[in-house]
Amino acid sequence: MELHPVPDLPEIEPGDDLAAMIAERAAIEPGDVVTVASTVVSKAQGRTADLADFPAGPRAVELAERFEALTGEEKDPRLAQAVLEESTEIIVETPFMLTETCFGHTCVNAGIDRSNVPGHDLLLLPKRPADRAAEIRAGLLERADRLDAEAADRIETTGSDGDVPDAIDEVGVVVTDTCGRPFRHGQRGVALGWTGMPASRDWRGETDRDGRELGVTVQAIVDELASAANLVTGEGDDGTPAVVVRDFDFGDHAGGDSLFRSVEKDQVRQALREWSYE
Amino acid sequence: MELHPVPDLPEIEPGDDLAAMIAERAAIEPGDVVTVASTVVSKAQGRTADLADFPAGPRAVELAERFEALTGEEKDPRLAQAVLEESTEIIVETPFMLTETCFGHTCVNAGIDRSNVPGHDLLLLPKRPADRAAEIRAGLLERADRLDAEAADRIETTGSDGDVPDAIDEVGVVVTDTCGRPFRHGQRGVALGWTGMPASRDWRGETDRDGRELGVTVQAIVDELASAANLVTGEGDDGTPAVVVRDFDFGDHAGGDSLFRSVEKDQVRQALREWSYE
């Protein structure tokens, strides 16, 4: 398996055609997976914002005050307001805002980025990242010489109401982000939206050399691809936000398309909902 | 960046010299990172076991009974006993046993594997995986033609009391596992122990194109390498438990060596400790 950063992408502006910009700079082949950092997807979608766009309501003011009382650190209530507006649930309010975004991703501060935003204060996560992945895939299929343009008709979208291909259907696209996690320090790449491929590889019912059912049952390959890509993308000045993953062999397995745990089945989230930091 | 599975490793037996077996099958080069699945590290270390080795004490019997009462599913109290013996803390008791192992890794059932264990019931996680990684690294440095054997003297171990190299010191070794996580379905590769390289790449103090401090501060590269490797290793019959990662560019950043959150700073763990499932 090989990972090739897409070279020389310029600073992305609202309305930029990411598929065209990637296809100009990388020779995409059948079976490739293209990862695209959510930062550039957001910029193309015009998701920059300023703190002044989020005048703080009473709940944001109260959250910022509680945060300051608990930690002694300042928190801008307008940032709390932005987080509230970008979230469908605030799972933990303090000492950090753990949120669910409207597309099901659980992260701190609704994934709002305060770096990498020339001329603005904030970069919000993309809206409907799976749809953005599908647009990029359609654009790549249309423009890349070696890809079969007709594959665009085979999958319109992914997610719970879309089709799940059995493997990579001509080309897969994953919109990625980086975020932290419980139990372990540091951030790692994760998938926010994907298309043209399953989210996971399902080993259930398969057996080991000794005929026993395998311990690993569902492998979150889009997250693993996002993590792998994050090793070569870098950040900041020399960041290369798109990566072509070549020769990833999905193999002969079932595919799954569910990545975000449902509220009812996420016991850790239930525990966090009931918890109060003091 | 390229990932090459190490071909044709046989079923591993207690006492096998993993470094020798890998060096025979792959031409390791300076700057490579070699990932080795914990399953084979455990097998070489003789960490297979049987349920009969863990006669259930009163706490294990009580846990199994509570599990059955809550879920209606059976649980072997001897498995609960094995989990208790392999853990330093049981963070959640039911409906799943979330545990901390003695080397700081938080996972379900102390990472005990019930597949991939010819002739036995259980495969326990390796003891001191960072030390196992260091042994494998020393063996590779000694045997691989293109590596500088003297690098073995530069790092004896890693972990909180070891040295943290600035980047990959001749060759890095990561002992990997797969495990689930809150908020997201599916398992992904994670690092259990590593040596010859930092656990993380530290971007703190670095700036974006606009001069702002970067949002991503610490990147858990050993976990991302484990996830990347997991995409090419496979499981079961055709599993290839060792992978050579070539041309991973650590770049000019600071390195960190801490991966597992300390109890005091892990607020999710505190919430889970206080939580009781009913």
Q: What is the pLDDT of residues A63-100, one digit of tens each?
A: 999 999 998 999 999 999 999 999 999 999 988 899 99
Grade residue B159 by pLDDT with cuts at 50, 70 and 90: very low
Closest chain A residue to the Cα of B214, Cα to Cα:
A115
ipTM above 0.95, yes or no: no
Chain A interface includes B254 (CB < 8 A): no
Chain A interface includes B278 (CB < 8 A): no
- Mean predicted lDDT score pLDDT of chain A: 90
For B256, half-sphere exposure in the C-beta direction (CA atoms, 13 angstrom radius) is 19
Contact A154, A162 (CB under 8 A): no
Class for domain A1-47+126-152+165-260, per CATH? Answer: alpha beta
Provide the pLDDT for residue A126. 97
pTM here is 0.94
Q: Which of A244, A233, A239 is nearest to A189 (CA)?
A: A233
For A272, half-sphere exposure in the C-beta direction (CA atoms, 13 angstrom radius) is 26
Would the annotation count B31 as a binding residue? no
Instruction: Answer left, alpha or beta for residue B85, where phi above 0 means left and psi between -120 and 50 means alpha.
Output: alpha
Q: What is the pLDDT of residues A242-276, one digit of tens each?
A: 999 999 999 888 888 889 988 777 888 888 888 87
Which of A118, A212, A268 faces B182 most closely, judged by CB atoms? A268
Rounded to an integer, the average pLDDT of B123-137 is 96
Residue A42 has pLDDT above 50, yes or no: yes
Chain A interface includes B248 (CB < 8 A): yes
Would the annotation count B202 as a binding residue? no
Provide the pLDDT for residue B277. 73
Provide the pLDDT for residue B160. 43
Portions of chain B given CATH number 3.30.1330.100: 1-47+126-152+165-260
> B48-125, what's its fold?
CofE-like fold (3.90.1660)
Portions of chain A given CATH number 3.90.1660.10: 48-125
A173-184 b/e with 16+ CB inside 10 Å = b?
bbbbbbbbbbbb
Crossing angle for the helix pair A221-233 and B221-233, to the nearest 10 degrees: 130
Chain A interface includes B27 (CB < 8 A): no
CB spacing of B117 vs A218 below 8 angstroms:
no
Which residues in chain A have their CB less than 8 angstroms from residue B272's CB? 268, 271
Provide the pLDDT for residue B89. 93
Distances (CA, A) of B121 to A149, A155, B48, B79, B116: 50, 43, 8, 10, 9
Q: What is the pLDDT of residues A2-29, one digit of tens each?
A: 999 999 999 999 999 999 999 999 999 9
Q: Which two tokens stand for residue A32?
A: 């490739």
Closest chain B residue to the Cα of A1, Cα to Cα:
B3
CB spacing of B260 vs A2 below 8 angstroms:
no
Q: What is the pLDDT of residues B186-232, one digit of tens each?
A: 999 999 999 999 999 988 777 766 676 666 689 999 999 999 999 99
- Give the span between the Cα atoms of B63 and A65, in whole angstroms: 42
Which residues in chain B have their CB less than 8 angstroms from residue A117's CB? 210, 212
Which residues in chain A have their CB less than 8 angstroms from residue B119's CB? 210
Provide the pLDDT for residue B237. 52
CB spacing of A207 vs B266 below 8 angstroms:
no
- Mean predicted lDDT score pLDDT of chain B: 90
Rounded to an integer, the average pLDDT of B83-95 is 94
Q: If you search the block for the tokens 């691809």, which residue do you land on?
A: A225
CB spacing of A186 vs B225 below 8 angstroms:
no
Provide the pLDDT for residue A159. 46
The residues pairing with A189 across neighbouring beta strands, listed in sequence order, are A178
Q: What is the pLDDT of residues A152-167, one digit of tens each?
A: 777 655 544 456 787 8
The residues pairing with A218 across neighbouring beta strands, listed in sequence order, are A202
